[in-house]
């Protein structure tokens, strides 16, 4: 078992038994479950909407190379600089160069999973640059020195009381503040940072090929400030965020909001097509777009896993996943958790180190059922398992066990061997884990097969 797998088992064991965690998550996801059906009402036919979105993403990913070039051509013509980063280190080096050039001391950033993926905050901190999260949920997580718990709702595992206590501990404000008061505290602290920051960093929800722009979706206005106020704006985005054209936003914006939070449409939706143009009164002087691969082309090169690149990171599959709800976002120890995380992480990183995530599923299929763009998530988990076996990552004992299973399953006689008592003894011993919290299995003295034969022989 890999170290990651052992650590996953340890962490998930603790969380599964943590009833307070269970209560908070069920409460917060319960609120989500109550609003999503309301958001869905805006679609005359939500199934068709999802189908269309899947088709659009299919097109974008099948022609990713030409769409990326089109994007680059368009946005460069308006003065933005496009940088291609094959790895996390490449991206970080580019950012370091820009920071050095601008003598940057403070960065404000909006919520972005890609910056989590490349560990941007740690990197900047080591360079002596303060990197401030401006999304309230991310700000809370940064104060608590924790990675986001959820790709859409970073502090989902914290109650409002938890947040009030955290603010009192870290920001020297009175304890027991209400959510409104807490928001005002954060707002005040963050406004100062916007003024200080030389650079604003954002992610992007979509890359738009035809007009050469990125689209950013948010509820707090912090991403707008992050990209428009500082003199320099850096966008870091995974190449799979591509959509063919601006017209597609009419579908993707409401779809993302509905599946992400149950809203009809998110409060702020911004299209950014370059730095400040001549004659414009606001916007940054310079804009950089870093297009990140970091393993995404591994998913692209395999026709089966390619579908995973359609993901718009709405988080619906996490909220629908009973495993996620029981073990929480941190047990995965990956940037992307939940079903989509278990599907992509082995390919983004390393199959041997992360294949356990593909097995840590009861295959209930609820992720596939809810996915905004209809990715066959649970089947992709099965494909990952197969891939792991093909690449030789199974243990010898597993291989022997399945060989033996096959021999027995091809030979009916073998399945009738041994009486019930013996089977009881063997199985309850071998599957010790089973009997820990289950009553022992009770094998029948005879199999149905034997009983049927006896019954019908005498007829």
Partner 1 sequence: MNVSIFIPCFIDQLYPAVAFDMVKVLEKAGCNVSYNTNQTCCGQPAFNAGFQGEAKDVCTKFLKDFGDAEYVVAPSASCVGFVRNYYGQLFDNSSVHNEVKSLGERTFEFSDFMVNVLQVDNVGARLNGKATYHDSCAALRECKLKKEPRQLLSNVQGLELVEMNDVETCCGFGGTFAVKFEPISIAMADQKINNAVSTDAQYLISTDMSCLMHLGGYIKNKGANLRVMHLAEVLANGWE
Please, are residues 193 and 106 in contact by the beta-carbon 8 Å criterion?
A: yes
Task: Check binding of 373 to ligand SF4 (CB under 6 A).
Answer: yes
The answer to whether residue 441 forms part of the interface with partner 1 (CB under 8 A) is yes
Q: Tell whether residue 311 is a contact of ligand SF4 (CB under 6 A).
A: yes
Of the pair 124, 377, the CB lying nearest ligand SF4 is at: 377
Query: What residue spans of 129-238 are helical by DSSP H?
Result: 136-143, 160-171, 179-196, 222-228
295 contributes a contact to ligand SF4 by CB under 6 A: no
CB of 335 to ligand SF4, least distance (A): 13
Q: How far is the CB of 406 from partner 1 (least distance, A)?
A: 4
Which phi and psi angles does 308 have, rounded to 5°? -65, -20
* Candidate residues 124, 314, 321, 388; the one interacting with ligand SF4 per rule CB under 6 A: 314
Supply 113's token pair: 């999973």
> How far is 150 from 153, CA to CA, in rounded Å?
5
Long-range contacts of 187-194 (CB under 8 A, 24+ apart): 190/108, 190/132, 190/134, 190/139, 190/222, 193/106, 193/108, 193/130, 193/132, 193/134, 194/108, 194/134, 194/225, 194/226, 194/229, 194/230
Q: Which two tokens stand for residue 360?
A: 């840590």
Cβ–Cβ < 8 Å for 201, 234: yes
Residue 441 binds what, of ligand SF4, partner 1, none (CB under 5 to 8 Å, by partner type)?
partner 1
User: Residue 366 binds what, of partner 1, ligand SF4, none (CB under 5 to 8 Å, by partner type)?
Assistant: partner 1
Residue 317 interacts, among partner 1, ligand SF4, none and using kind-specific CB cut-offs from 5 to 8 Å, with ligand SF4
What are the two backbone dihedrals, phi and then psi, of residue 301, each rounded to the nearest 5 degrees? -75, -15
Minimum Å gap between C-beta 261 and ligand SF4 is 12
Q: How many chain residues touch partner 1 (CB under 8 A)?
A: 59
The length of the chain is 459
3-state secondary structure (DSSP) of residue 28: helix
Distance CA 258, CA 367 (A): 16
Stretch that binds partner 1, among 53-61, 195-203, 230-238, 321-329 (CB under 8 A): 321-329
Cβ closest to ligand SF4, residue 164 vs residue 371: 371
Residue 19 burial class via C-beta count within 10 angstroms: exposed 0-12, middle 13-18, buried 19 and up: exposed
- Nearest-approach distance from CB 54 to ligand SF4, in angstroms: 10
| Contact string 330-369 vs partner 1 (x = CB under 8 A) | -----------------------------xxxxxxxx-xx
Among 148, 175, 150, which residue's Cα sits nearest to residue 161? 175
If contact means CB under 5 to 8 A according to the sort of partner, which of partner 1, ligand SF4, none does residue 314 touch? ligand SF4
Instruction: Give the one residue of 2, 9, 219, 245 binding partner 1; rule: CB under 8 A.
Output: 9
CA distance 427 to 435: 10
Binder among 44, 397, 436, 458 for partner 1 (CB under 8 A): 436
Give the integer Cα–Cα distance in Å for 412 and 290: 60
The least distance separating ligand SF4 from the CB of residue 390, rounded to whole angstroms, comes to 24
Based on the shown chain and the rule CB under 6 A, indicate whether residue 313 belongs to the binding site for ligand SF4.
Answer: yes
Question: By rule CB under 6 A, what count of residues binds ligand SF4?
Answer: 15
User: What is the distance between the alpha carbons of residues 336 and 55, in angstroms, rounded to a whole number?
Assistant: 24
* Stretch binding ligand SF4 (CB under 6 A), from 4-12, 199-207, 224-232, 368-376: 368-376
Q: According to the binding rule CB under 8 A, does residue 449 interact with partner 1? A: yes
If one asks whether residue 191 binds partner 1 (CB under 8 A), the answer comes out as no
Give which of ligand SF4, partner 1, none residue 369 binds (C-beta under 5 to 8 Å, depending on kind).
partner 1
Q: Is 244 in the site for partner 1 (CB under 8 A)?
A: no
Which residues of this chain interact with ligand SF4, rule CB under 6 A? 259, 311-317, 340, 370-373, 375, 377
């Amino acid at each position: 078992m890999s170290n990651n797998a052992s650590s996953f088992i340890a962490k998930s064991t603790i969380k599964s038994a943590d009833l307070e965690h269970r209560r908070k998550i069920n409460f917060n996801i319960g609120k989500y479950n109550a609003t999503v059906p309301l958001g869905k009402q805006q679609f005359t036919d939500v199934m068709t909407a999802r189908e269309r979105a899947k088709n659009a993403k299919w097109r974008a990913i099948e022609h990713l190379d030409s769409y990326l070039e089109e994007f680059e051509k368009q946005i460069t013509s308006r003065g933005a600089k496009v940088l291609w980063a094959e790895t996390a280190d490449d991206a970080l080096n580019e950012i370091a160069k820009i920071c050095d050039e601008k003598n940057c001391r403070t960065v404000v950033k909006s919520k972005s999973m890609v910056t989590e993926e490349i560990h941007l905050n740690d990197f900047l901190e080591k360079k002596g640059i303060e990197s401030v999260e401006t999304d309230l949920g991310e700000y809370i997580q940064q104060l608590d020195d924790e990675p986001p718990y959820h790709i859409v709702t970073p502090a989902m595992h914290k109650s409002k009381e938890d947040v009030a206590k955290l603010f009192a501990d870290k920001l020297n404000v009175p304890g027991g503040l209400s959510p409104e008061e807490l928001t005002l505290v954060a707002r005040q602290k963050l406004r100062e940072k916007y003024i200080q920051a030389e650079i604003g960093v954002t992610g992007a929800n979509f890359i738009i090929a035809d007009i050469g722009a990125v689209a950013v979706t948010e509820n707090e206005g912090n991403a707008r400030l992050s990209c428009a106020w500082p003199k320099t704006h850096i966008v870091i985005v995974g190449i799979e965020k591509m959509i063919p054209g601006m017209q597609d936003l009419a579908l993707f914006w409401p779809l993302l909001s509905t599946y992400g939070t149950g809203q009809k449409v998110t409060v702020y939706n911004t299209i950014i097509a370059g730095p400040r143009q001549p004659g414009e009164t606001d916007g940054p002087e310079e804009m950089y777009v870093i297009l990140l691969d970091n393993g995404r082309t591994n998913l692209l090169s395999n026709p089966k896993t390619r579908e995973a690149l359609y993901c718009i990171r709405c988080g619906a599959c996490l909220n629908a996943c009973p495993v996620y709800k029981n073990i929480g976002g941190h047990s995965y120890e990956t940037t992307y958790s939940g079903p989509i995380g278990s599907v992509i992480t082995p390919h983004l990183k390393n199959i041997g180190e992360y294949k356990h995530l593909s097995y840590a599923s009861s295959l209930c299929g609820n992720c596939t059922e809810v996915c905004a763009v209809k990715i066959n998530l649970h089947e992709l988990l099965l494909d990952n398992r197969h891939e792991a076996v093909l690449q030789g990552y199974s243990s010898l004992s597993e291989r022997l066990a399945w060989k033996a299973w096959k021999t027995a399953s091809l030979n009916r006689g073998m399945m009738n061997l041994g009486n019930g008592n013996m089977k009881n003894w063997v199985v309850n011993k071998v599957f010790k884990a089973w009997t820990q919290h289950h009553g022992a299995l009770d094998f029948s003295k005879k199999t149905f097969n034997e009983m049927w034969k006896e019954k019908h022989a005498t007829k």
